[in-house]
Structure 1
Amino acid sequence: MRARLGGWRPKLVVSDLDGTLLGSAGAVSPRTAEAIDACRGTGVPFVGATGRGPRLLESVRAALGGQGFAVLAQGGYVVRFGSDGAADEVLRTVGMARDVATEVIAAIEEVAGELVVAVEDAAEQAEALRPLRVQHGFDWPYPEPAHLLPRHQVLPVGAVLKVFLRSARLGEDELVALARSVVDPAVAELTHAGLGFIEVLPPGVTKATGLAVVLDQVGVGFGDVLVFGDMPNDLPMIEAVTAAGGRAVAVANAHPAVRAAAGDRTSGHDADGVARYVEAVLALGETDV
């Protein structure tokens, strides 16, 4: 560890949640919770960056101990948690117009065939924690309330935070590659989190641009960030950090593209990989004093 990091130490740590910080049961282990607290105890903010939307804000709050910042919806919704009874502060919320989402879905279906759709309302419409809008047959992987709707009713009247597209014959890597061949990045951002479907987001919305909002708040640059991830939706964040001279770590269960992009590895999410790495970094800090 000393040889790899030299004298570099993070001024902020950010981690993906599902598949990285959280175990398979979707919870933070006691060891990981202690590592997060220890990190914050040294004055280094610990931030969560997740694809989960604002309808799942309470689960994100619980995972992060209700402190600091969180980047949700792949970067489209950024929040500072309130403390001592204060309200949360929403720092970023970005939506996509319904007609744009409709055009993007149609363009992707031209090359990928018929798709099954789910939609999350734009963040400004989600204050009542509206359930996900899911087309019949989507096979949503999480046990949460959802509005099951026919295809023509899935898109809401207003803006959407993001669209989920599932193919009956294509995996997410193949589907996202086809989608990128016909969708201009200036129109929509495309990614996936290894869940069997791809996500369509407003242009420029990535975990990297969401994290940039947090970094601006705390006065830290990408080069001072230690980032953990596991799936392609983490790549913009990993690439921004490594390009600036920061450090990126892939958990053992990460997607091949993430393992290739990250400069370091740690144990899997079910073996407290993030906690193990953070503990080692903090131990180096102690011996360097």
Structure 2
Amino acid sequence: MSETVPRAVLSGHVPSPDADRVIEPADLGSWRPRLVASDLDGTLLTSEGVVSPRTRAALDACWAAGIPVVGVTGRGPRLLDSVRTALDGRGIAVLAQGGYVVDLERREVLRAVGLPREQAMAVIDRIEAVAGDLILAVEDAAEQAEAFAPLRVQHGFDWPYPEPAHLLPRHAVVPEGAVLKVFLRSSSLGQDELLARARRVVDPAEAEVTHAGLGFIEVLPPGVTKATGLAVALEHHGVGFADVLVFGDMPNDLPMITAVTEAGGRAVAVANAHPAVRAAAGGLTGGHDADGVARYLEAVLAGV
């Protein structure tokens, strides 16, 4: 998924005045990461959806220092090629907010979790009861000829990316079988308010709900978060959350930020991050269009 529209525009969030300022790591002491995990869109990637040369060099330096890099993204597996490009085909990628984890080098799927149709429909009904009518899009869990089907989008959803999609009437959007996630957009509620209402009525045992700063919320299988997806990658590398340096920008990053900080690792928000992420992360760096992740990594690696 190439972000042709800046995330700040889509979310209505105004970038911080710190966005272009170098913010050095603080209070690291003798701690150094054994693994780096980063969100992609709005964090590691520029507004154009690419890895800048400086960021690419910083990632290469991590690998050269023996520190693996894990990309953790909301992008679904239908966009795996774009994730592989962003990560230079190295290591493990966590996609679909943690529901799909793949070893990029071995092309091996390490985790794939779906939400049954009946369960998804029940959750949608419960959210609509407190939020009014919503417009749907769905990430289908079914693979077709070794590739995932295009997004299923209800007419009127206004999907922000120029990618192939099946435009469908509402009754046909949610397919038979399982889905990786459901996107819900309101014509009257902002993403933060819609998420707050959804969390009041959706039991985490039934589904996870979050948003990625794109103007809509996402419904995921129970237990699927960026934290649980990252845990799969950490087990593969033999690394604990206490040894992770994590970067993020939106509420969907909060589970992995919380897991890392509670274990004693380090979490860093980019300057363009959602206020909740800036509050939860112990560190702050420049914005995603100012090589914020690269600047922070350069400073950390200088002390390795």
* Change beyond 3 A, Cα 1:75–1:125: farther
Q: Is the counterpart of residue 145 in structure 1 residue 168 in structure 2?
A: no
TM-score (normalised: structure 1): 0.95
Match of 1:39 in 2: 62
SS of the equivalent of 2:43 reads coil
* Distance in structure 1 (CA, Å) of the matches to 2:145 and 2:128: 28
* Distance in structure 1 (CA, Å) of the matches to 2:145 and 2:42: 25
One-letter identity of the residue aligned with 1:246: G
Match of 1:223 in 2: 242
Match of 1:259 in 2: 278
**Structure 1 segment 238-253 matched on structure 2, within 5 A:** 238-253=257-272
Residue-by-residue CA offset, 1:69-96 (whole Å, 9 max, x unaligned): 00000000000012xxxx5010000000
Match of 2:86 in 1: 63
Structure 1 position 31, deviation (Å): 0.4
Mean Cα deviation higher: 116-125 or 201-210: 116-125
Structure 1 position 172, deviation (Å): 0.6
Match of 1:101 in 2: 120
Match of 2:14 in 1: none
Q: Is the counterpart of residue 4 in structure 1 residue 27 in structure 2?
A: yes
* Change beyond 3 A, Cα 1:119–1:206: same
Structure 1 position 127, deviation (Å): 3.4
Q: State the aligned residue count.
A: 281
Higher relative contact order by CA 8 Å / sep ≥ 6: 1 or 2? 2
Contact 1:95 1:123 (C-alpha < 8 Å) held by counterparts: no
One-letter identity of the residue aligned with 2:294: A
Q: Is the counterpart of residue 171 in structure 1 residue 171 in structure 2?
A: no
Match of 2:15 in 1: none
Which residue of 72, 81, 102 maps to 1:49? Answer: 72
* Distance in structure 2 (CA, Å) of the matches to 1:160 and 1:185: 17
Structure 1 position 125, deviation (Å): 5.8
* Change beyond 3 A, Cα 1:97–1:178: same
**RMSD over aligned Cα atoms:** 1.1
Structure 1 position 51, deviation (Å): 0.1
Contact 2:248 2:273 (C-alpha < 8 Å) held by counterparts: yes
Structure 1 position 158, deviation (Å): 1.2
Match of 2:289 in 1: 270
One-letter identity of the residue aligned with 2:74: G
Which residue of 91, 99, 102 maps to 1:76? Answer: 99
- Provide structure 2 residue ranges, at least 5 long, that are not aligned to the other structure: 1-23
* Change beyond 3 A, Cα 1:51–1:2: closer
* Distance in structure 2 (CA, Å) of the matches to 1:186 and 1:122: 20
Which residue of 120, 124, 127 maps to 2:146? Answer: 127
